[in-house]
Amino acid sequence: MNAASGTPALKSQKEHLLPEKKALASAAVPIQEIGMLTYCGVCRDNLEPATACSVANELGIGPDTQIYDISNACLGVLNGIIQTANAIELGQIKAGLIVSCETAREVVNIAIERLLKNQDMELFKNTIATLTGGAGAVAVLMTNTELAHKTSHKLLGGVIKNASRHHRLCLWGPDAGRCIDGIHVMKTDSIGVLKNGAALGEATYKAFIKEMNWPGTKPDKIICHQVGAAHQKTILESIGIPKEKDFTTYQFLGNIGTVSLPITAAIADERGFLQKGDLTGFFGIGSGLNCMMLGVEW
C-alpha cells in the first residue's frame, strides 16, 4: 500500500492527476499493471458515467481494467482499499488504484448564502458542520507481494460495523427526487453524530482489537477521519487511546470527506510521525452511520 496526496485547486484536468502519478512513481508500478481503478469521492463529475472513467482516460489505463465508482460517504476510500485488497487476494488483479478528490467550495458558498437570507438559529445549528469542509485529493496504490515496493505498507485486516438507524443525521447533496431544480440538502445533527458516532466507534474498536489480536500496548499509532477537536477528544476517550498516538490535520485542512484519512496518513508519514514497523489503526467513520477500522503495518 502506497499513498499520495495533492490539492484539487489546479489548472487543468491532467494536473488533477498528481496524486495518482505520485503513487505510481513512488512504488515503481507500471500503469499497465493496474487491474482495478475505483473513484471513491463524495464529490463527482456527474451521476453518470462513473468519475473513475475520466481518471482512467487521463492516466491511460488499459482496456482490461475494472473501472467504477464507490459511494459510501466519508468511508469511500477505505471501502475501495478493501475491495481492491480482496481482488488481489483472490488473484483477480496484481495491483489497483483507489482515488478521490473533494472540494467544499460550492457547498460552503451555498450554505453562507442560505444563512444570510435566513438568519435562523436552527438553520445555523444544522449548517455549521458544513462550514468546516475542506478540499484535497488522494491516491492509494495496492499491490500483491510480487509488485510491492520496499517502502510499501502492509494491510493486515480490519472490521466494519454500522448503525443504519442513524442514517438521517447527516444529509448532503441534491435531492434525488428533484435533482433537476438543483436544490441541495445540507443538514447535520452535530450532537447526534458525535454521540452515536462515538458509541459506534467504541463497539467497532472492541471488535477491531479482538480481530487483530494485537498486544495490549497496540496500536502504536492511529489515523482517524478528521472532523474536529470535540470529535477527536470524545472518540479517543471512548476507546482509551492517548492523544499522543493520534495525528491530526483538521486544524489546517478541515474535513475533506473521503480524502481526510488517507491524506492525514500521507502527511503523518512525510513528517516522520509514522515509523517503519508501526502497527497502525486507520479509523474511519461516515454518515449512515458506518465505521471501519483497518490494521496496517507501516
| Catalytic residue set | 48, 74
Please state the length of the chain.
Answer: 298
Residues 6+ apart with CB under 8 A from 249: 226, 260, 263, 264, 267
> What residues pair up with 84 in beta bridges, in sequence order?
none
Cβ atoms < 10 Å from Cβ of 114:
17
Burial class (CB in 10 A: 0-12, 13-18, 19+), 215: exposed
Contact at 8 Å (CB) between 221 and 247? yes
CA distance 104 to 135: 6
Query: Angle, to 10 degrees, between the axis of helix 76-89 and the axis of helix 260-270?
Result: 80
Cβ atoms < 10 Å from Cβ of 249:
22
Q: Which long-range contacts (CB under 8 A, 24 or more apart) does 174-179 make?
A: 179/47
For β-strands 279-286 and 184-188, DSSP reports them as: unpaired
- Sign of dihedral through CA atoms 237, 242, 245, 251? positive
C-alpha cell, 206: 472492541
> What residues pair up with 162 in beta bridges, in sequence order?
290
> What residues pair up with 140 in beta bridges, in sequence order?
3, 98
The DSSP 8-state label assigned to residue 135 in this structure reads -
